[in-house]
Structure 1
Amino acid sequence: MKIVILNSGSSSIKYQLIAMPSQEVICSGMIDRIGLETSNLTYQTSTTNLEETLPIANHKIGLEKIAQLLRDPNIGVIQSTQEINAVGHRVVHGGASFSDTVLIDQGVKDKIKELFALAPLHNPAHLLGITVAQEIFATAKQVAVFDTAFHQTIPEIAHKFAIPNSFLTQNKIRMYGFHGTSHKYVSEKAMAYLPQKAKIISIHLGNGCSITAIKDGKSIDHSMGFSPANGLIMGTRSGDIDHSLIFYLIDTLGYSSQQVNTLLLKESGMLGLTGFSDLREIESQAAQGNEDCQLALAMNAYRIKKHIGSYVAVLNGLDALVFTAGIGENSSYIRNLVCTDMDYFGIELDTSKNQIRSKEIREINTATSKTKILVIPTNEELEIANQVYELLTS
């Protein structure tokens, strides 16, 4: 079975073509900076490594370009889009409607659209990707895999907000949790690596950031909530704030609700603190003495540490701390900040191991550390492919 995996962001498309059940990645790549004259495109196979800068005006043109590359007579990997059996779509917010992977029909598309307001940076792009993929891969099954699904096991004591009960029963307002495909994938890798069922804290650090308490393979608490906006400090999102700030901005400073939304989602986080959104540049500036960048990195790590402490309490112990995603896998600087002065929890970082880069799972703790510190590269695309294959063959 050949499955195309699509992860459509607001200005990007990540894609892979995976053969199942062998899990062979036939090709992979991404398009980013969609909407600009300088969009970046990558396309990789076992024999090809293509990189281009070209104008990609919208997601439809981007997906058409991907389909063109897949069928290219010289570097393509299929002769016709009819060879594609299924297209798996990552969808960030499934709300209360979806706790499992589903075949996409009009009803599913309508539900995804209803949740635009809760994931404004993500769900609109996902629905657009689904609509265009239905046109391009017309004979393939279209399947949605929801980030929120993994967190459906979070108990009511953790997912319910302390507001009138009717908001949960009538409006389904609760904590949902996000980055579920990533947290599920790396926690399963961690459990296979560790000698016993484990109490795990998984830390997904990218442009979006979240942290999950996992017990016996199940999510029991998580840093994001009703939408993917709160919790840790992120690239452009503020994470946790005092909600009275929103009313102060509107009632006293004259902001509209839309301006507040834009401020907290697109102009805050590391960008708001430093003027930069790319962590590599922030780390470089910090090394050169930029005090704003030094403070922002310290704040970022401090917020993560606070969540680790609370989740150790919830789990009543900790067997492994897992770092994953772009920053979690590649930033030794952030990992060092997070793990310093955490010996009370049995977290002891080996600074030399922390510098090693690898695409494999690796330990970066000392030999005497009671808690394993693991770096596990995430593979959301493979996790989506697994779930799509399971749905279509069960």
Structure 2
Amino acid sequence: MNVLVVNAGSSSLKLSVLGEDDAVLAQRHVERWDGTADLDLVLPPVHAVGHRVVHGGTRFTAPVVITPDVRREIAALTDLAPLHQPRALAGIDAAQALFPDVPHVACFDTAFHRTLPAAAATYALPSTWRDRWDLRRYGFHGLSHAYASRRAVELAGGGSRVVTCHLGAGCSLAAVHDGRSVDTTMGFTPLAGLPMATRSGDLDPGLLLHLLNHLTADELADGLTHHSGLVGLSGHADLRDVHTAAARGANAHLALDVFTHRLRQGIAAMTASLGGLDLLVFTGGIGEHDQRLRAAAVANLEFLGVGVDPTLNRGNLPVDSRISPAGASVGVWVIRAREDVEIAEGTRTACSITIPKHG
């Protein structure tokens, strides 16, 4: 059973066809996608299509076959993920135009975090507000956290307490206990948590109220979403450019310091939610490729048993590698992001198709 996986980003479109045992049969990455179905695709036979959708709200806690009603409900969540939800809808529309005769399935980044305990998911807000507007911590990057945590446990031969670090243009951490998410850094929207490429991460709500005395709500939203994070601190959204600039300018150096400081805080907080740590996992574009960031992230976390071997923690790592010293109490792993595997499995589940084991 071949599954076409559609991952529509804020500007790009990633397509992959996964066959039996999740072998990649074809791939296509459109860097600048205009949302149309004119993709000039040459693909092997496709029997189902799986779509990454960032926000599922309280309604969608598992993969679901897309019907007109489901599409409308996904669209109604756009205010909660304005960068991502419209692009997912565009991907759904384009793929349905190209493959109208196969089932299409939505797989939600929020679904993995449906297991958050009330203590982690609940905001200290009036209950009337929480009930009326479904105000809670949803969490995001769930497809990535689910795969990375499971894959690390498989490779390590066990480990019930896992902290996963999805680090890319968007960044979040998750505390995973026996395969279930019990805490995460993102919240009601993907704007919360760690500083990111252009997003602010967590801020004092009083600071936001103060800014509303000087900015409109739209100006504030635009600034927090597009002009904050690394780009706000250094002028560079790409961490590779921040590294290059750090030696020449204090602002870029500060950006690295702020990013790693908050990352260390987050790892320690997720470990506290787990009551200890067996495995620490880095994934995503930064997590997989930036050995300097990985080394900086674990600095001063020796008290948790975390460390990396400088020889193992290098560039051009083999896929799915351990980088902690031999005999370390906590295994530190770099796991290739494979949201496509998670989406393909979810698609087969929703279509009641037997799921082959992945490697």
Aligned pair 1:275/2:235, yes or no? yes
2:24 corresponds in structure 1 to 25
Write the distance in 2 (CA, Å) between the matches of 1:295 and 1:110: 43
Aligned pair 1:335/2:299, yes or no? no
SS at match of 2:288: helix
Report the CA distance between 1:389 and its aligned residue: 1.4
2:166 corresponds in structure 1 to 204
Report the CA distance between 1:373 and its aligned residue: 0.8
CA deviations on 1:241-268 (whole Å, 9 max, x unpaired) are 11112221111x2x11011000000110
Specify which of 209, 216, 219 is matched with residue 256 of structure 1.
216
Greater alpha carbon shift after TM alignment, 24-33 vs 256-265: 24-33
CA deviations on 1:312-353 (whole Å, 9 max, x unpaired) are 221111011100010000001110111112111111221121
Aligned pair 1:235/2:209, yes or no? no
Q: Which amino acid aligns with 1:9?
A: G
Write the distance in 2 (CA, Å) between the matches of 1:160 and 1:2: 39
1:320 corresponds in structure 2 to 279
Report the CA distance between 1:284 and its aligned residue: 1.5
Write the distance in 2 (CA, Å) between the matches of 1:216 and 1:296: 34
CA deviations on 1:167-210 (whole Å, 9 max, x unpaired) are 33332110000000000001111111233342010000000000
Report the CA distance between 1:302 and its aligned residue: 0.6
Aligned pair 1:376/2:350, yes or no? no
CA deviations on 1:276-325 (whole Å, 9 max, x unpaired) are 11111111122x33221111111101101111112222111101110001
Q: Which amino acid aligns with 1:161?
A: Y
2:249 corresponds in structure 1 to 290
* C-alpha contact (below 8 Å) 1:359/1:377 kept by paired residues: no
SS at match of 1:193: helix
* C-alpha contact (below 8 Å) 2:307/2:325 kept by paired residues: yes
Q: Which amino acid aligns with 2:31?
A: D
1:170-249 to 2 correspondences below 5 Å: 170-249=132-211
Aligned pair 1:305/2:268, yes or no? no
1:48-127 to 2 correspondences below 5 Å: 58-60=34-36, 63-65=37-39, 68-70=40-42, 77-78=43-44, 83-127=45-89
Aligned pair 1:3/2:7, yes or no? no
* C-alpha contact (below 8 Å) 2:281/2:334 kept by paired residues: yes
SS at match of 2:140: coil
Structure with the greater alpha carbon radius of gyration = 1
Write the distance in 1 (CA, Å) between the matches of 2:317 and 2:267: 25
* C-alpha contact (below 8 Å) 1:364/1:375 kept by paired residues: yes
* C-alpha contact (below 8 Å) 1:298/1:337 kept by paired residues: no
Write the distance in 2 (CA, Å) between the matches of 1:363 and 1:24: 23
Write the distance in 1 (CA, Å) between the matches of 2:65 and 2:340: 17
Q: Relative contact order (C-alpha < 8 Å, sep 6+): which is higher?
A: 2
Write the distance in 2 (CA, Å) between the matches of 1:269 and 1:113: 27
Q: Which amino acid aligns with 1:354?
A: N
1:354 corresponds in structure 2 to 313
**Structure 2 segments unaligned to the other structure (5+ residues):** 354-359
Aligned pair 1:389/2:351, yes or no? no
Q: Identity, % of aligned pairs?
A: 36
Aligned pair 1:135/2:107, yes or no? no
Greater alpha carbon shift after TM alignment, 85-94 vs 363-372: 363-372
Report the CA distance between 1:393 and its aligned residue: 2.7
Write the distance in 2 (CA, Å) between the matches of 1:359 and 1:146: 29
* C-alpha contact (below 8 Å) 1:91/1:144 kept by paired residues: yes
Question: How many residues end up aligned between the 2 structures?
Answer: 353
Report the CA distance between 1:108 and its aligned residue: 1.0
SS at match of 2:201: coil
1:366 corresponds in structure 2 to 325
1:14 corresponds in structure 2 to 14
Q: Which amino acid aligns with 2:119?
A: I
Report the CA distance between 1:368 and its aligned residue: 4.2
Report the CA distance between 1:356 and its aligned residue: 4.3
CA deviations on 1:52-77 (whole Å, 9 max, x unpaired) are xxxxxx210xx422xx231xxxxxx4
TM-score (norm 2): 0.95
* C-alpha contact (below 8 Å) 1:237/1:267 kept by paired residues: yes
1:52 corresponds in structure 2 to none
Q: Which amino acid aligns with 1:154?
A: L
Please provide the CA RMSD for this pair: 1.3
2:357 corresponds in structure 1 to none
SS at match of 1:328: helix
SS at match of 2:248: coil
Write the distance in 1 (CA, Å) between the matches of 2:326 and 2:21: 36
* C-alpha contact (below 8 Å) 1:185/1:380 kept by paired residues: yes
Write the distance in 1 (CA, Å) between the matches of 2:61 and 2:41: 34
Write the distance in 1 (CA, Å) between the matches of 2:322 and 2:250: 31
1:162 corresponds in structure 2 to 124
Q: Which amino acid aligns with 2:217?
A: S
